[in-house]
Each structure stands twice: as structure tokens, then as C-alpha cells.
């Protein structure tokens, strides 16, 4: 058999590497011809070849959450993930138990891509993306995704020497499954002031059912002591989404790293919103009322941090959660926590399969 390094995706990688080293400025997609498609299986094999000296991917299983018969349409798979900005991982975050070797971008990007390719999301919501133009947009557009990026106005990545530009939120959806109806880049405000946090909200039409829905991605302010600020940002995002969805007439899915535990005010605002939202990962708990014990787990000089900060919210009157991807166990994560040679980020990916409720008005 031929070497995996000789196929089209490896040529793609070498082109990306060349663009990265030359500091080439990305050309606007509108001016370019449609990208040549690439075979996801080929790209996966290419990633696995790069990662051959690393441990294999962790096994995570989907948990079936359907309360009734299967929907009449193919479910919509949504993936939420803070992938850890490369500049922050290497230059700012001080993961004291993670060897620098594990954070090398050439390998870490393959771990990220391997995770995405394994779960095959129809819609992908990412935070801390600082390699959008040289990695994610070129690759995912060739896998059939429409790609949108909104950087933070003052990204902390820019403070790191040899950074790759600002980090931000990115949203990707499969063009053969959805049609883009409307797109909004939202700079979140708090106390009437514009902040450094952003969101993307897109109204999509499902080609199979003809149904409209809105998908949003965000990343709220980090750090202890900023709870009121996060709460204000959450209120601003909810108000924007009320306008976009015409007060919940259009079903809504919100993915994000909220940097907030379920005890925080911003979590309560989303739970009690007039948009009738529920958090999908609560459904994994025995009573359907408790969030997972963690979605991020890391060790910094100040100590070990284990928190639930990442969520997939959805309109519970209009959407059903068919299944959700189980989280990594403590044993899988290991004593050095995240990130690691096994896993590329300090946050776990969340993946859910949604279907439209056949009679959404009944539950409003």
C-alpha cells in the first residue's frame, strides 16, 4: 500500500504548513473558486498517521435519550467545543502537568480534527479558534461546511509572542443539509458597554424538513469575580436571540463556553428565559435535572480546577434530544488531567442529536 503521507490530504497539510510559515494573508472566500472536496476518511487516516506515536482516541459512547418513537427525519448532530487557543495553551495557560510536547500544533490540530471527523457533526460550534484561516476554514470548507468566524476585538492571544492572530468563535454547518437564511455577528454588551466577548447566530433552513431554526455560539467572560459581568452578557445575548427568533417562534440551539457553573446567575437566566430553554446535558443525569460534574478539568500553578462551564441549550418545546455523547471518565482523563497526549483541549467536546418536535405549539 502507498504511504498515507502521499495522498491528497497530506498535500493539503503541506500547503497549509507553507502558508503558515510564509505568513500568507488568507484571500476572501468570495473571490476564490469553490474548494475541491476532500474525502473525510482520507483526512482521518492522515491525522492518524501524524498521531501514530500518541495513545489512541478515548472511547466515548452516545446515550440514547429518546422518550418516544424516532423522528420522521434524520437527526441534526450538533457539536460544541472550546478547542483551546494554540497561543494560550503554549504561552499563557500554564498547564503544569501537560508537557509542552503534547501541545505542538502540528499534532494537536490532528487530535482536534480526529475528534471532529469521528463524530461527524452537521453543525460545529467552536471557541478559542486562533487557527481559523490556515486550518479550520480551508479544511472544513473542503469537507462541505459553510464557515463563519468572529474574533474577539482584543484577543489575549495577541499578547503571546509568535501568535497566529486573535482567537474567536467559529460556526460551521453542512451546506448539503442546511440553507443559510440569516447570519448575525454579535459583540456582547454589559452595562451598556461593548465587551471583548462575541457570539454568532445563524438562522438555518433544514433542507429535509423545510423547518427553520437558529444556531448560536458564544464564549462568555472568564475568571472568578466577573459573575455580574457574565450575567449582563448573557442577558444581552438572550435579548438578541429573542429578536432573531421572533420570541421563540423559531427553535433555538445555543452552544457555548459560558465560564459559569450552574450555580451562577447567568445559568439561571438561561434556564428561566421566556425562550423556554433547557440544557441538553442535564438529560444524562438520573433525574434529568443535574448538569454533569465537569466539562473542563485542568491543573494550573494555583491548583486543580474541575468545573462545568460548557452547555448546549435548546428550545424544549420545539426540539427533542435524541442522544448525547457521554463525557470522559476520571480514569480516562488520568491524574495529569487536560490537555494531554490523549486529548487536545482542557474542555471536553459536547455532542447531541436533535430532532424537531412534530407539534411544537402544544408545549409553549
| Structure confidence at residue 34 as a pLDDT band (50, 70, 90) | confident
CA quadruple 248, 254, 259, 262: dihedral sign: positive
pLDDT over 60 at 21, yes or no: no
Strand pairing class (178-190; 62-64): unpaired
Query: Which three three-digit cell numbers place residue 230?
Result: 457574565
Tally of domains within the chain: 1
Strand pairing class (193-206; 178-190): antiparallel
pLDDT of residue 248: 82
CATH code, 324: 3.60.10.10
Average of per-residue pLDDT values in the chain: 90
pLDDT in tens, 135-185: 999 999 999 999 999 999 999 999 999 999 999 999 999 999 999 999 999
What average pLDDT does the segment 67-82 reach? 88
pLDDT in tens, 237-253: 999 999 999 988 999 99
pLDDT of residue 23: 45
How far apart are alpha carbons 144 and 118 in whole angstroms?
A: 16
Question: Which residue segment(s) compose the domain that 91 sits in?
Answer: 67-359
Select from 341, 361, 339, 353 the least CA-distant residue to 86: 339
pLDDT of residue 24: 43
pLDDT of residue 360: 52
How far apart are alpha carbons 200 and 218 in whole angstroms?
A: 7
| Structure confidence at residue 71 as a pLDDT band (50, 70, 90) | confident
- Contacts of residue 48, defined as CB under 8 A and 6 or more positions apart, other chains included, come to 4, 110, 114
pLDDT of residue 13: 52
pLDDT over 50 at 363, yes or no: no
pLDDT in tens, 185-205: 999 999 899 999 999 999 999
Cell 484571500, located at residue = 27
pLDDT of residue 5: 41
User: Which of 39-43, 91-95, 243-247 shows the lowest per-residue confidence on average (mean pLDDT)?
Assistant: 91-95
**Domain-embedded: residue 234:** yes
**Which position has the higher pLDDT, 14 or 158?**
158
**Domain-embedded: residue 33:** no
What's the Cα-to-Cα distance from 129 to each of 109, 177, 212, 289, 329, rounded to whole Å? 11, 24, 27, 31, 26
Query: Which three three-digit cell numbers place residue 282?
Result: 442535564
pLDDT of residue 49: 96
**Domain-embedded: residue 304:** yes
**Domain-embedded: residue 235:** yes
Of all residues in the chain, what percent carry a pLDDT higher than 70?
89
Strand pairing class (168-174; 252-257): unpaired
pLDDT of residue 27: 47
| Structure confidence at residue 53 as a pLDDT band (50, 70, 90) | very high
**Domain-embedded: residue 40:** no
**Which position has the higher pLDDT, 73 or 118?**
118
Residues 199/240, Cβ–Cβ less than 8 Å: yes
pLDDT over 60 at 2, yes or no: no
User: Which of 64-73, 94-103, 243-252, 307-316 shows the lowest per-residue confidence on average (mean pLDDT)?
Assistant: 64-73
**Domain-embedded: residue 353:** yes
**Domain-embedded: residue 247:** yes
What average pLDDT does the segment 249-267 reach? 98
Angle (CA) 308-270-130 rounded to 5° is 55
- pTM for this prediction: 0.90
What average pLDDT does the segment 63-82 reach? 89
pLDDT over 60 at 3, yes or no: no
pLDDT of residue 92: 80
**Domain-embedded: residue 267:** yes
- Contacts of residue 283, defined as CB under 8 A and 6 or more positions apart, other chains included, come to 65, 321, 324
pLDDT of residue 30: 53
3-state secondary structure the chain: CCCHHHCHHHHHHHHHHHHHHHCCCCCCHHHCCCCCCCCHHHHHHHHHHHCCCCCCCCCCCEEECCCCCCCCCCCEEEEEEECCCHHHHHHCCCCCCCCHHHHCHHHHHHHHHHHHHHHCCCEEEEEEECCHHHHHHHHHHHCCEEEEEEECCCCHHHHCCCCCCCCEEEEEEECCCEEEEEEEEEEEEECCEEEEEEEEEEEEEECCCCCEEEEEEEECCCCCCCHHHHHHHHHHHHHHHHHHCCCCCCCEEEEEECCCCCCCHHHHHHHCCCCCEEEHHHHHCCCCCCCCCCCEEEEECCEEEEECCEEEEEECCCEEEEEEECCCCHHHHCCCCCCCCCCCCCECCEEEEEEECCCHHHHC
pLDDT over 50 at 46, yes or no: yes
pLDDT of residue 35: 78
pLDDT in tens, 317-327: 999 999 999 99
Query: Which three three-digit cell numbers place residue 311?
Result: 452547555
Amino acid at each position: 500500500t502507498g504511504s498515507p503521507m502521499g495522498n491528497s490530504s497530506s498535500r493539503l497539510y503541506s500547503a497549509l504548513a507553507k502558508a503558515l510559515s510564509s505568513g500568507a494573508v488568507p484571500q476572501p472566500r468570495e473571490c476564490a473558486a469553490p474548494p475541491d472536496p476532500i474525502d473525510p476518511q482520507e483526512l482521518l487516516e492522515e491525522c492518524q498517521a501524524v498521531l501514530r506515536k500518541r495513545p489512541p482516541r478515548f472511547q466515548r459512547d452516545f446515550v440514547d435519550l429518546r422518550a418516544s418513537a424516532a423522528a420522521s427525519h434524520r437527526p441534526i448532530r450538533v457539536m460544541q467545543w472550546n478547542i483551546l487557543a494554540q497561543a494560550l495553551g503554549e504561552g499563557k495557560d500554564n498547564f503544569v502537568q501537560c508537557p509542552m510536547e503534547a501541545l505542538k500544533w502540528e499534532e494537536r490540530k490532528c487530535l482536534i480534527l480526529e475528534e471532529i471527523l469521528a463524530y461527524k457533526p452537521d453543525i460545529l460550534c467552536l471557541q478559542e479558534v486562533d487557527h481559523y484561516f490556515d486550518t479550520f476554514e480551508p479544511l472544513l470548507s473542503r469537507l462541505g461546511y459553510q464557515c463563519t468566524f468572529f474574533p474577539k476585538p482584543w484577543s489575549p492571544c495577541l499578547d503571546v509572542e509568535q501568535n497566529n492572530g486573535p482567537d474567536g468563535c467559529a460556526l460551521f454547518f453542512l451546506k448539503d443539509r442546511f440553507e443559510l437564511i440569516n447570519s448575525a455577528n454579535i459583540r456582547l454588551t454589559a452595562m451598556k458597554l461593548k465587551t471583548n466577548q462575541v457570539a454568532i447566530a445563524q438562522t438555518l433552513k433544514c433542507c429535509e424538513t423545510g423547518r427553520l431554526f437558529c444556531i448560536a455560539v458564544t464564549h462568555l467572560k472568564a475568571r472568578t469575580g466577573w459573575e455580574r459581568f457574565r450575567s449582563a452578557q448573557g442577558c444581552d445575548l438572550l435579548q438578541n436571540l429573542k429578536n432573531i427568533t421572533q420570541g421563540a417562534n423559531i427553535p433555538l440551539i445555543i452552544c457555548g463556553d459560558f465560564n459559569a457553573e450552574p450555580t451562577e446567575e447567568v445559568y439561571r437566566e438561561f434556564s428561566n428565559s421566556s425562550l423556554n430553554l433547557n440544557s441538553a446535558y442535564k438529560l444524562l443525569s438520573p433525574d434529568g435535572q443535574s448538569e454533569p460534574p465537569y466539562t473542563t478539568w485542568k491543573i494550573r500553578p494555583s491548583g486543580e480546577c474541575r468545573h462545568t462551564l460548557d452547555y448546549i441549550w435548546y428550545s424544549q418545546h420545539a426540539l427533542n434530544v435524541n442522544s448525547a455523547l457521554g463525557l470522559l471518565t476520571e480514569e480516562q482523563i488520568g491524574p495529569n488531567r487536560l490537555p494531554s497526549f490523549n486529548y487536545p483541549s482542557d474542555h471536553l467536546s459536547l455532542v447531541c442529536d436533535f430532532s424537531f418536535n412534530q407539534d411544537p405549539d402544544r408545549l409553549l
